[in-house]
Protein backbone atom coordinates (compact mmCIF):
# COMPACT_ATOMS: atom_id res chain seq x y z
CA UNK A 1 0.00 0.00 0.00
CA UNK A 2 1.21 3.48 -0.78
CA UNK A 3 1.37 4.76 2.80
CA UNK A 4 2.39 8.24 1.75
CA UNK A 5 -0.68 8.91 -0.40
CA UNK A 6 -2.86 7.18 2.17
CA UNK A 7 -1.73 9.37 5.08
CA UNK A 8 -2.24 12.49 3.00
CA UNK A 9 -5.78 11.43 2.24
CA UNK A 10 -6.65 10.41 5.80
CA UNK A 11 -5.19 13.64 7.14
CA UNK A 12 -7.55 15.54 4.85
CA UNK A 13 -10.54 13.44 5.93
CA UNK A 14 -9.65 14.22 9.57
CA UNK A 15 -9.72 17.95 8.87
CA UNK A 16 -13.06 17.62 7.06
CA UNK A 17 -14.51 15.72 10.05
CA UNK A 18 -13.40 18.43 12.47
CA UNK A 19 -16.36 20.88 11.99
CA UNK A 20 -18.89 18.03 12.40
CA UNK A 21 -17.21 16.89 15.60
CA UNK A 22 -17.16 20.44 16.95
CA UNK A 23 -20.87 20.82 16.07
CA UNK A 24 -21.74 17.51 17.72
CA UNK A 25 -19.88 18.46 20.91
CA UNK A 26 -21.48 21.91 20.94
CA UNK A 27 -24.98 20.49 20.45
CA UNK A 28 -24.69 17.76 23.09
CA UNK A 29 -26.20 18.18 26.56
CA UNK A 30 -23.73 16.48 28.84
CA UNK A 31 -25.05 14.98 32.09
CA UNK A 32 -22.30 16.63 34.07
CA UNK A 33 -19.68 19.43 33.77
CA UNK A 34 -16.84 16.89 33.90
CA UNK A 35 -18.21 15.15 30.76
CA UNK A 36 -18.39 18.48 28.93
CA UNK A 37 -14.83 19.29 30.01
CA UNK A 38 -13.48 15.94 28.69
CA UNK A 39 -15.41 16.45 25.45
CA UNK A 40 -13.75 19.85 25.01
CA UNK A 41 -10.27 18.54 25.88
CA UNK A 42 -10.71 15.68 23.40
CA UNK A 43 -11.85 18.05 20.68
CA UNK A 44 -8.91 20.40 21.23
CA UNK A 45 -6.54 17.43 21.11
CA UNK A 46 -8.27 16.17 17.97
CA UNK A 47 -8.04 19.56 16.24
CA UNK A 48 -4.36 19.98 17.15
CA UNK A 49 -3.51 16.43 16.07
CA UNK A 50 -5.48 16.72 12.83
CA UNK A 51 -3.60 19.88 11.86
CA UNK A 52 -0.25 18.41 12.93
CA UNK A 53 -0.75 15.16 11.02
CA UNK A 54 -1.94 17.10 7.98
CA UNK A 55 1.34 19.01 7.99
CA UNK A 56 3.39 15.87 8.72
CA UNK A 57 1.84 14.00 5.79
CA UNK A 58 3.06 16.76 3.49
CA UNK A 59 6.51 17.18 5.02
CA UNK A 60 9.90 15.67 4.26
CA UNK A 61 10.04 13.84 7.59
CA UNK A 62 6.71 12.19 6.78
CA UNK A 63 7.94 10.93 3.45
CA UNK A 64 11.22 9.68 4.90
CA UNK A 65 9.63 7.75 7.78
CA UNK A 66 6.40 6.50 6.28
CA UNK A 67 5.80 3.50 8.51
CA UNK A 68 6.53 5.50 11.68
CA UNK A 69 4.19 8.21 10.46
CA UNK A 70 1.39 5.69 9.86
CA UNK A 71 1.95 4.17 13.31
CA UNK A 72 1.74 7.57 15.00
CA UNK A 73 -1.37 8.42 12.99
CA UNK A 74 -2.99 5.09 13.91
CA UNK A 75 -2.25 5.55 17.62
CA UNK A 76 -3.63 9.08 17.49
CA UNK A 77 -6.84 8.01 15.72
CA UNK A 78 -7.40 5.16 18.17
CA UNK A 79 -6.79 7.45 21.14
CA UNK A 80 -9.12 10.20 19.93
CA UNK A 81 -11.89 7.83 18.84
CA UNK A 82 -11.67 5.98 22.18
CA UNK A 83 -12.00 9.30 23.98
CA UNK A 84 -15.11 10.21 21.96
CA UNK A 85 -16.67 6.79 22.53
CA UNK A 86 -16.28 7.36 26.28
CA UNK A 87 -17.37 10.99 26.24
CA UNK A 88 -20.62 10.20 24.43
CA UNK A 89 -21.31 6.98 26.37
CA UNK A 90 -24.15 8.71 28.24
CA UNK A 91 -26.31 9.08 25.13
CA UNK A 92 -29.20 6.69 25.17
CA UNK A 93 -29.86 4.79 21.94
CA UNK A 94 -26.86 6.13 19.97
CA UNK A 95 -24.40 3.32 19.08
CA UNK A 96 -21.33 5.57 19.54
CA UNK A 97 -18.99 2.61 20.00
CA UNK A 98 -19.50 1.84 16.31
CA UNK A 99 -17.19 4.71 15.32
CA UNK A 100 -14.43 2.24 16.21
CA UNK A 101 -15.24 0.53 12.91
CA UNK A 102 -13.74 3.56 11.17
CA UNK A 103 -10.55 3.05 13.14
CA UNK A 104 -10.57 -0.61 12.18
CA UNK A 105 -10.95 0.23 8.50
CA UNK A 106 -8.02 2.66 8.71
CA UNK A 107 -5.86 0.01 10.45
CA UNK A 108 -6.70 -2.51 7.70
CA UNK A 109 -5.80 -0.08 4.95
CA UNK A 110 -2.56 0.85 6.70
CA UNK A 111 -1.38 -2.54 7.96
CA UNK A 112 -3.59 -5.11 6.20
CA UNK A 113 -5.05 -8.13 8.05
CA UNK A 114 -2.59 -8.02 10.96
CA UNK A 115 -3.32 -4.35 11.60
CA UNK A 116 -7.07 -5.04 11.56
CA UNK A 117 -6.79 -7.97 13.96
CA UNK A 118 -4.58 -5.98 16.34
CA UNK A 119 -7.12 -3.20 16.35
CA UNK A 120 -9.99 -5.61 17.00
CA UNK A 121 -8.01 -6.84 20.03
CA UNK A 122 -7.41 -3.30 21.30
CA UNK A 123 -11.02 -2.27 20.81
CA UNK A 124 -12.49 -5.12 22.94
CA UNK A 125 -11.51 -3.49 26.31
CA UNK A 126 -12.54 -0.11 24.90
CA UNK A 127 -16.03 -1.38 24.09
CA UNK A 128 -16.16 -3.03 27.52
CA UNK A 129 -15.16 0.29 29.15
CA UNK A 130 -17.79 2.07 27.11
CA UNK A 131 -20.48 -0.42 28.15
CA UNK A 132 -19.46 -0.03 31.78
CA UNK A 133 -19.67 3.79 31.62
CA UNK A 134 -22.97 3.68 29.77
CA UNK A 135 -24.66 1.15 32.05
CA UNK A 136 -23.44 3.03 35.14
CA UNK A 137 -24.80 6.27 33.73
CA UNK A 138 -28.12 4.88 32.56
CA UNK A 139 -28.45 2.54 35.57
CA UNK A 140 -28.94 -0.53 33.40
CA UNK A 141 -27.34 -3.98 33.53
CA UNK A 142 -23.86 -4.49 31.97
CA UNK A 143 -24.06 -6.79 28.95
CA UNK A 144 -21.06 -8.76 27.62
CA UNK A 145 -23.01 -9.41 24.45
CA UNK A 146 -22.33 -5.94 23.14
CA UNK A 147 -18.57 -6.47 23.66
CA UNK A 148 -18.41 -9.93 22.08
CA UNK A 149 -20.70 -8.92 19.23
CA UNK A 150 -18.67 -5.85 18.26
CA UNK A 151 -15.31 -7.64 18.68
CA UNK A 152 -16.50 -10.61 16.59
CA UNK A 153 -17.69 -8.29 13.88
CA UNK A 154 -14.39 -6.41 13.93
CA UNK A 155 -12.41 -9.63 13.54
CA UNK A 156 -14.50 -10.58 10.51
CA UNK A 157 -14.09 -7.11 9.04
CA UNK A 158 -10.33 -7.26 9.62
CA UNK A 159 -10.15 -10.57 7.76
CA UNK A 160 -12.20 -9.36 4.81
CA UNK A 161 -11.03 -5.76 4.44
CA UNK A 162 -7.41 -6.69 5.23
CA UNK A 163 -7.48 -9.36 2.54
CA UNK A 164 -8.95 -6.92 0.03
CA UNK A 165 -6.24 -4.40 0.80
CA UNK A 166 -3.52 -7.01 0.44
CA UNK A 167 -4.94 -8.10 -2.89
CA UNK A 168 -5.13 -4.56 -4.12
CA UNK A 169 -1.52 -4.02 -3.16
CA UNK A 170 -0.47 -7.23 -4.91
CA UNK A 171 -2.39 -6.25 -8.03
CA UNK A 172 -0.84 -2.81 -7.96
CA UNK A 173 2.64 -4.30 -7.72
CA UNK A 174 1.83 -6.75 -10.49
CA UNK A 175 0.56 -3.99 -12.77
CA UNK A 176 3.66 -1.95 -12.03
CA UNK A 177 5.93 -4.89 -12.82
CA UNK A 178 4.08 -5.46 -16.07
CA UNK A 179 4.35 -1.82 -17.01
CA UNK A 180 8.10 -1.97 -16.32
CA UNK A 181 8.40 -5.15 -18.35
CA UNK A 182 6.52 -3.54 -21.24
CA UNK A 183 8.79 -0.52 -20.96
CA UNK A 184 11.86 -2.77 -21.10
CA UNK A 185 10.53 -4.67 -24.10
CA UNK A 186 9.78 -1.41 -25.79
CA UNK A 187 13.31 -0.18 -25.07
CA UNK A 188 14.83 -3.42 -26.39
CA UNK A 189 12.76 -3.11 -29.55
CA UNK A 190 13.80 0.50 -30.01
CA UNK A 191 17.44 -0.49 -29.69
CA UNK A 192 17.02 -3.29 -32.20
CA UNK A 193 15.40 -0.94 -34.70
CA UNK A 194 18.20 1.57 -34.11
CA UNK A 195 20.83 -1.15 -34.63
CA UNK A 196 19.16 -2.41 -37.81
CA UNK A 197 18.97 1.11 -39.16
CA UNK A 198 22.67 1.63 -38.44
CA UNK A 199 23.61 -1.68 -40.06
CA UNK A 200 21.56 -0.97 -43.14
CA UNK A 201 23.22 2.46 -43.43
CA UNK A 202 26.63 0.75 -43.14
CA UNK A 203 25.62 -1.68 -45.85
CA UNK A 204 24.48 1.11 -48.16
CA UNK A 205 27.81 2.84 -47.57
CA UNK A 206 29.52 -0.42 -48.37
CA UNK A 207 27.80 -0.82 -51.72
CA UNK A 208 28.95 2.60 -52.89
CA UNK A 209 32.36 2.01 -51.34
CA UNK A 210 32.94 -1.33 -53.03
CA UNK A 211 31.69 -0.09 -56.36
CA UNK A 212 34.18 2.76 -56.03
CA UNK A 213 36.92 0.42 -54.80
CA UNK A 214 36.31 -1.87 -57.75
CA UNK A 215 35.75 0.74 -60.39
CA UNK A 216 38.92 2.77 -59.74
CA UNK A 217 41.45 -0.06 -60.08
CA UNK A 218 39.45 -1.58 -62.97
CA UNK A 219 39.56 1.71 -64.84
CA UNK A 220 43.31 1.93 -64.23
CA UNK A 221 43.89 -1.63 -65.41
CA UNK A 222 41.70 -1.26 -68.50
CA UNK A 223 43.21 2.11 -69.38
CA UNK A 224 46.79 0.86 -68.99
CA UNK A 225 46.12 -2.31 -70.97
CA UNK A 226 44.53 -0.31 -73.79
CA UNK A 227 47.38 2.16 -73.91
CA UNK A 228 49.92 -0.62 -73.97
CA UNK A 229 48.04 -2.42 -76.74
CA UNK A 230 47.51 0.64 -78.93
CA UNK A 231 50.81 2.47 -78.42
CA UNK A 232 53.25 -0.34 -77.64
CA UNK A 233 55.73 0.77 -80.31
CA UNK A 234 55.68 4.47 -79.40
CA UNK A 235 56.24 3.86 -75.68
CA UNK A 236 59.70 3.77 -74.20
CA UNK A 237 60.72 0.74 -72.15
CA UNK A 238 60.44 2.59 -68.79
CA UNK A 239 56.95 3.81 -69.78
CA UNK A 240 55.88 0.27 -70.56
CA UNK A 241 57.28 -0.88 -67.22
CA UNK A 242 55.35 1.84 -65.43
CA UNK A 243 52.06 0.77 -67.04
CA UNK A 244 52.78 -2.88 -66.25
CA UNK A 245 53.58 -2.02 -62.63
CA UNK A 246 50.34 -0.06 -62.41
CA UNK A 247 48.38 -3.05 -63.72
CA UNK A 248 50.11 -5.31 -61.23
CA UNK A 249 49.44 -2.99 -58.25
CA UNK A 250 45.81 -2.42 -59.14
CA UNK A 251 45.08 -6.09 -59.69
CA UNK A 252 46.72 -6.78 -56.30
CA UNK A 253 44.37 -4.25 -54.79
CA UNK A 254 41.39 -5.90 -56.46
CA UNK A 255 42.48 -9.32 -55.31
CA UNK A 256 42.88 -8.04 -51.74
CA UNK A 257 39.42 -6.50 -51.87
CA UNK A 258 37.84 -9.69 -53.15
CA UNK A 259 39.78 -11.65 -50.54
CA UNK A 260 38.40 -9.47 -47.73
CA UNK A 261 34.83 -9.74 -48.99
CA UNK A 262 35.14 -13.52 -49.25
CA UNK A 263 36.77 -13.80 -45.81
CA UNK A 264 34.05 -11.77 -44.15
CA UNK A 265 31.28 -13.81 -45.73
CA UNK A 266 33.05 -17.01 -44.64
CA UNK A 267 33.31 -15.63 -41.10
CA UNK A 268 29.59 -14.86 -41.15
CA UNK A 269 28.78 -18.30 -42.51
CA UNK A 270 31.06 -19.95 -39.92
CA UNK A 271 33.15 -21.61 -42.62
CA UNK A 272 36.35 -19.62 -42.05
CA UNK A 273 38.82 -22.40 -41.33
CA UNK A 274 41.99 -22.37 -39.25
CA UNK A 275 44.93 -24.67 -38.96
CA UNK A 276 46.53 -24.28 -35.56
CA UNK A 277 50.15 -24.92 -34.87
CA UNK A 278 52.84 -23.95 -32.42
CA UNK A 279 54.03 -20.55 -33.49
CA UNK A 280 57.10 -18.45 -32.95
CA UNK A 281 55.44 -15.07 -32.84
CA UNK A 282 58.73 -13.15 -32.86
CA UNK A 283 59.68 -14.67 -36.22
CA UNK A 284 56.19 -14.07 -37.59
CA UNK A 285 56.30 -10.40 -36.58
CA UNK A 286 59.76 -10.03 -38.11
CA UNK A 287 58.56 -11.52 -41.41
CA UNK A 288 55.43 -9.41 -41.55
CA UNK A 289 57.31 -6.21 -40.81
CA UNK A 290 59.91 -6.95 -43.50
CA UNK A 291 57.19 -7.57 -46.06
CA UNK A 292 55.41 -4.39 -45.06
CA UNK A 293 58.62 -2.39 -45.40
CA UNK A 294 59.42 -3.96 -48.72
CA UNK A 295 56.73 -1.99 -50.53
CA UNK A 296 57.27 1.27 -48.77
CA UNK A 297 60.57 3.05 -48.66
CA UNK A 298 59.28 6.07 -46.80
CA UNK A 299 57.92 4.22 -43.78
CA UNK A 300 60.03 3.43 -40.77
CA UNK A 301 58.74 0.54 -38.68
CA UNK A 302 60.43 0.34 -35.29
CA UNK A 303 60.22 -3.18 -33.90
CA UNK A 304 60.84 -4.02 -30.28
CA UNK A 305 60.34 -7.68 -29.42
CA UNK A 306 61.09 -8.89 -25.91
CA UNK A 307 63.51 -11.84 -25.80
CA UNK A 308 62.15 -15.30 -24.88
CA UNK A 309 58.64 -14.55 -26.09
CA UNK A 310 56.49 -17.61 -25.26
CA UNK A 311 55.23 -19.82 -28.04
CA UNK A 312 51.60 -19.37 -29.03
CA UNK A 313 49.13 -21.76 -30.52
CA UNK A 314 47.80 -20.26 -33.71
CA UNK A 315 47.23 -20.16 -37.43
CA UNK A 316 50.32 -18.62 -39.01
CA UNK A 317 48.65 -17.29 -42.15
CA UNK A 318 45.65 -15.84 -40.31
CA UNK A 319 47.76 -14.14 -37.64
CA UNK A 320 49.98 -12.74 -40.34
CA UNK A 321 46.85 -11.36 -41.97
CA UNK A 322 45.96 -9.64 -38.68
CA UNK A 323 49.42 -8.13 -38.22
CA UNK A 324 49.55 -7.01 -41.84
CA UNK A 325 46.19 -5.33 -41.48
CA UNK A 326 47.26 -3.50 -38.30
CA UNK A 327 50.56 -2.37 -39.80
CA UNK A 328 48.96 -1.38 -43.12
CA UNK A 329 46.36 0.67 -41.27
CA UNK A 330 49.01 2.32 -39.10
CA UNK A 331 50.86 3.37 -42.24
CA UNK A 332 47.74 4.25 -44.21
CA UNK A 333 46.18 6.47 -41.54
CA UNK A 334 49.40 8.29 -40.57
CA UNK A 335 51.08 11.24 -42.22
CA UNK A 336 53.67 10.40 -44.86
CA UNK A 337 56.90 9.23 -43.25
CA UNK A 338 55.61 9.02 -39.66
CA UNK A 339 57.17 6.03 -37.85
CA UNK A 340 55.13 3.02 -36.75
CA UNK A 341 56.06 1.06 -33.63
CA UNK A 342 55.56 -2.66 -33.27
CA UNK A 343 56.16 -4.11 -29.82
CA UNK A 344 55.76 -7.60 -28.44
CA UNK A 345 56.12 -8.84 -24.88
CA UNK A 346 54.81 -11.45 -22.47
CA UNK A 347 52.44 -10.44 -19.69
CA UNK A 348 50.36 -12.51 -17.23
CA UNK A 349 50.37 -15.68 -19.26
CA UNK A 350 49.63 -13.84 -22.50
CA UNK A 351 51.59 -12.44 -25.37
CA UNK A 352 50.87 -8.82 -26.22
CA UNK A 353 51.58 -7.36 -29.62
CA UNK A 354 51.09 -3.63 -30.04
CA UNK A 355 51.02 -1.62 -33.23
CA UNK A 356 51.20 2.10 -32.55
CA UNK A 357 51.13 5.02 -34.95
CA UNK A 358 51.34 8.80 -34.82
CA UNK A 359 48.35 9.37 -37.06
CA UNK A 360 45.13 11.30 -36.57
CA UNK A 361 43.80 8.92 -33.91
CA UNK A 362 40.29 7.55 -33.55
CA UNK A 363 37.60 9.32 -31.53
CA UNK A 364 36.21 7.34 -28.59
CA UNK A 365 32.75 7.15 -30.17
CA UNK A 366 34.20 5.50 -33.31
CA UNK A 367 36.26 2.87 -31.52
CA UNK A 368 33.43 0.35 -31.57
CA UNK A 369 32.45 1.09 -35.17
CA UNK A 370 35.87 0.33 -36.67
CA UNK A 371 35.65 -3.32 -35.62
CA UNK A 372 32.26 -3.73 -37.23
CA UNK A 373 31.67 -5.05 -40.68
CA UNK A 374 32.14 -2.17 -43.16
CA UNK A 375 32.80 0.18 -40.25
CA UNK A 376 34.90 3.15 -41.36
CA UNK A 377 35.37 6.47 -39.67
CA UNK A 378 33.92 9.35 -41.65
CA UNK A 379 36.69 11.52 -42.96
CA UNK A 380 39.00 8.58 -43.64
CA UNK A 381 36.85 7.69 -46.64
CA UNK A 382 39.36 9.40 -48.92
CA UNK A 383 41.79 6.54 -48.20
CA UNK A 384 41.08 3.31 -50.05
CA UNK A 385 39.50 0.64 -47.90
CA UNK A 386 36.38 -1.39 -47.23
CA UNK A 387 36.05 -1.32 -43.46
CA UNK A 388 36.39 -5.11 -43.43
CA UNK A 389 39.99 -5.47 -42.28
CA UNK A 390 39.52 -4.97 -38.54
CA UNK A 391 36.27 -6.94 -38.58
CA UNK A 392 38.15 -9.91 -40.02
CA UNK A 393 41.14 -9.32 -37.74
CA UNK A 394 39.03 -9.36 -34.59
CA UNK A 395 37.21 -12.51 -35.71
CA UNK A 396 40.57 -14.23 -36.28
CA UNK A 397 41.93 -13.10 -32.90
CA UNK A 398 38.77 -14.25 -31.12
CA UNK A 399 39.07 -17.65 -32.79
CA UNK A 400 42.48 -17.78 -31.06
CA UNK A 401 40.79 -16.98 -27.74
CA UNK A 402 42.56 -13.65 -27.78
CA UNK A 403 41.55 -10.00 -27.81
CA UNK A 404 42.06 -7.16 -30.23
CA UNK A 405 41.58 -3.70 -28.76
CA UNK A 406 42.35 -0.12 -29.58
CA UNK A 407 43.38 2.76 -27.41
CA UNK A 408 43.41 6.09 -29.11
CA UNK A 409 42.47 9.73 -28.89
CA UNK A 410 41.97 12.24 -31.67
CA UNK A 411 45.26 13.83 -32.63
CA UNK A 412 47.32 11.44 -30.54
CA UNK A 413 47.76 8.42 -32.75
CA UNK A 414 46.37 4.94 -32.13
CA UNK A 415 47.65 1.81 -30.45
CA UNK A 416 46.13 -1.52 -31.39
CA UNK A 417 46.81 -4.28 -28.88
CA UNK A 418 46.60 -7.90 -29.79
CA UNK A 419 46.54 -10.28 -26.81
CA UNK A 420 47.01 -14.01 -27.37
CA UNK A 421 47.16 -16.70 -24.71
CA UNK A 422 50.66 -18.09 -24.30
CA UNK A 423 50.88 -21.77 -25.09
Q: Applying CB under 6 A, does 415 fall inside the site for ligand ADP?
A: no
Q: Applying CB under 6 A, does 414 fall inside the site for ligand ADP?
A: yes
Q: Applying CB under 6 A, does 386 fall inside the site for ligand ADP?
A: yes
Q: CB–CB of 276/405 below 8 Å?
A: no
Q: Which of 47, 146, 153, 377 binds ligand ADP (CB under 6 A)?
A: 377
How far apart are CB 202 and ligand ADP at their closest, in Å?
11
Q: Applying CB under 6 A, does 329 fall inside the site for ligand ADP?
A: yes
Q: Inter-axis angle of helices 3-27 and 66-87, to 10 degrees?
A: 20
Q: CB–CB of 69/76 below 8 Å?
A: no
Q: Applying CB under 6 A, does 395 fall inside the site for ligand ADP?
A: no
Q: What is the dihedral of CA 25, 30, 32, 37, to 10 degrees?
A: 0
**DSSP secondary structure string, 230-283?**
HHTTTS-HHHHHHHHHHHHHHHHHHHHHHHHHHHHHHHHHT------EEE-HHH
How far apart are CB 260 and ligand ADP at their closest, in Å?
7
Distances (CA, A) of 84 to 50, 53, 125, 175, 284: 15, 19, 15, 41, 96
How far apart are CB 396 and ligand ADP at their closest, in Å?
12
Q: CB–CB of 154/147 below 8 Å?
A: no
User: How many residues lie near ligand ADP (CB under 6 A)?
Assistant: 21
Q: Applying CB under 6 A, does 342 fall inside the site for ligand ADP?
A: no
Q: CB–CB of 32/94 below 8 Å?
A: no
How far apart are CB 377 and ligand ADP at their closest, in Å?
3
Q: Which of 14, 318, 376, 400 binds ligand ADP (CB under 6 A)?
A: 376
Q: Applying CB under 6 A, does 389 fall inside the site for ligand ADP?
A: yes
175-183, 270-278, 296-304, 376-384 -> range binding ligand ADP (CB under 6 A): 376-384
Enumerate residues 125-164 that contact ligand ADP by CB under 6 A.
Answer: none
DSSP three-state, residue 185: helix
Q: Which of 385, 395, 404, 420 binds ligand ADP (CB under 6 A)?
A: 385
Q: Applying CB under 6 A, does 330 fall inside the site for ligand ADP?
A: yes
SS3 content of the chain, % helix, strand, coil (to 5): 70, 10, 20
Q: Strand pairing of 340-347 and 301-305?
A: parallel
State the chain's maximal CA–CA distance in angstroms. 143
56-64, 69-77, 190-198, 386-394 -> range binding ligand ADP (CB under 6 A): 386-394
How far apart are CB 299 and ligand ADP at their closest, in Å?
13
Kind and range of the H or E element at 30? none
26-34, 46-54, 199-207, 378-386 -> range binding ligand ADP (CB under 6 A): 378-386
**Which positions from 345 to 374 touch ligand ADP by CB under 6 A, shown as an x/- string?**
------------x-xx-x-------x----
Enumerate residues 267-326 that contact ligand ADP by CB under 6 A.
Answer: 325
DSSP three-state, residue 335: coil
Q: Applying CB under 6 A, does 387 fall inside the site for ligand ADP?
A: yes
The HSE-up count of residue 339 (CA atoms within 13 Å, CB side) is 7
Query: Of 309 and 390, which CB lies nearer to ligand ADP in the complex structure?
Result: 390
Q: Applying CB under 6 A, does 206 fall inside the site for ligand ADP?
A: no
With b meaning 16 or more CB within 10 Å and e meaning fewer, what string describes 27-41? Answer: eeebeeeebeebbee
Binding site for ligand ADP (CB under 6 A): 325, 329-330, 333, 357, 359-360, 362, 370, 375-377, 380, 385-391, 414
Amino acid sequence: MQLRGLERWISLVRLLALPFVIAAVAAATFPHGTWAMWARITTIAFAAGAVGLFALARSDIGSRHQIAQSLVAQLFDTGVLTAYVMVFAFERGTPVQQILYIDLAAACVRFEILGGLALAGVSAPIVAGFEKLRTDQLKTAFSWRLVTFQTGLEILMALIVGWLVRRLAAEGAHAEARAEEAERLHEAERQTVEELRRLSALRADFVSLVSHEVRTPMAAVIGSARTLAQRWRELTAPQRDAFLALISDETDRLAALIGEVLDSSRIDAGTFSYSFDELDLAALIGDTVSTAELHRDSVKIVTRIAPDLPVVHGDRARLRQVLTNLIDNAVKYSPEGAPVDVWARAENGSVLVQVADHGAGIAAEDQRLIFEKFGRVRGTASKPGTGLGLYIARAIVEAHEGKLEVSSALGEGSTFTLTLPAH
